[in-house]
Amino acid sequence: MNSEAERTARFRTLHEREGAFIIPNPWDVGTARILASLGYEALATTSAGLAFSQGLPEGHLTREATLAHCRLIVAATPLPVSADLEKGFGDDPATVAETIRLAAATGLAGCSIEDHSGDSDKPIFDFDLTVERVVAAVEAARALPGDLVLTARAENYLHGRPDLSDTIRRLQAFEEAGADVLYAPGLHNLDDIRSLCSSVGKPVNVVMGMPGATFSVDDLAKAGVKRISVGSALSRLAYGTVINAAREMTDQGTFTFSENAASFTSLENIFRKFN
């Protein structure tokens, strides 16, 4: 079952069955194949993880570079892939719609659009423009010859606006506009997550692995969460391990970090399965 239509059908089914599922976030072909080998059922790209792998801050990659990365991750495994498309590489609804069409052509099963403007003085798009952008994304997705699971994101909590009522208002508007999945990263209170989930009728994604409170899959499923991602957490864990190992070598002159490294054989065995 490797066709684009079959992958998207499997992806939709994950959002319709009982309980919550984890959708981890690889940042290159190797991590995508490692995660697939461990039994995960879908993958999601991470814009921050991708940027870090290129030695860049998040938000500094072009749309073309991001879509090329999407093609690599889609081709890396048989799993459905959803892409982090940040704000859609433009402020206006028409650009967002164009990004959705181009992203779908890479073979993705889904993608997300957020309301973070990229402007540090005004980091969140105004409500009306935010809704117009999601409407444009939905219309573009529905006009495709195939299916695409569209996630709409409300970014308040990541940008100094911990306003639950406004976040819920935005997600409700995204739901009314036709988004398939709703996502508000940065909530660290289980009661707030529960309140958000009970306020909408579409599947909700939450992100774990950020600083602050973390909850188990069971905790989140009971709160009403359907999908759990980890954003850039795995990439930050990997880079943190490299930083700590490099510091051990320079500061202590020792190499004990190698005790926690994956074995050469285990990695070769994983990658042989995909070639």
Give yes or no for residue 182 having a pLDDT over 60: yes
Confirm if 78 and 43 have CB atoms less than 8 A apart.
no
Mean pLDDT of the chain: 97
What pLDDT does residue 28 have? 98
The neighbouring-strand residues paired with 206 are 228
Q: With b meaning 16 or more CB within 10 Å and e meaning fewer, what string describes 213-239?
A: eebeeeebbebbbbbbbbbbbbbbeee
Confidence of residue 82 (pLDDT cuts 50, 70, 90): very high
Give yes or no for residue 1 having a pLDDT over 70: no
Confidence of residue 206 (pLDDT cuts 50, 70, 90): very high
What pLDDT does residue 255 have? 98
What pLDDT does residue 108 have? 98
Give yes or no for residue 66 having a pLDDT over 90: yes
Strands 181-183 and 204-207: parallel
Task: Please state, in angstroms and rounded to a whole number, the distance separating the CA atoms of residues 5 and 26.
Answer: 22
**What mean pLDDT comes out for the span 101-107?**
98
Confirm if 113 and 96 have CB atoms less than 8 A apart.
yes
Confidence of residue 214 (pLDDT cuts 50, 70, 90): confident
Name the nearest CA neighbour of 226 among 202, 199, 209: 202
- For residue 139, give both structure tokens: 């219309």
Condensed to tens digits (0 to 9), the pLDDT of residues 220-243 reads 999 999 999 999 999 999 999 999
Confidence of residue 75 (pLDDT cuts 50, 70, 90): very high
What pLDDT does residue 152 have? 98
Condensed to tens digits (0 to 9), the pLDDT of residues 16-65 reads 999 999 999 999 999 999 999 999 999 999 999 999 999 999 999 999 99
**What mean pLDDT comes out for the span 116-123?**
95
Give yes or no for residue 213 having a pLDDT over 80: no
Q: What angle do CA 219, 20, 34 make, to 5 degrees?
A: 110
- Domains along the sequence of the chain with CATH: 4-232 (3.20.20.60)
The overall pTM is greater than 0.95: yes
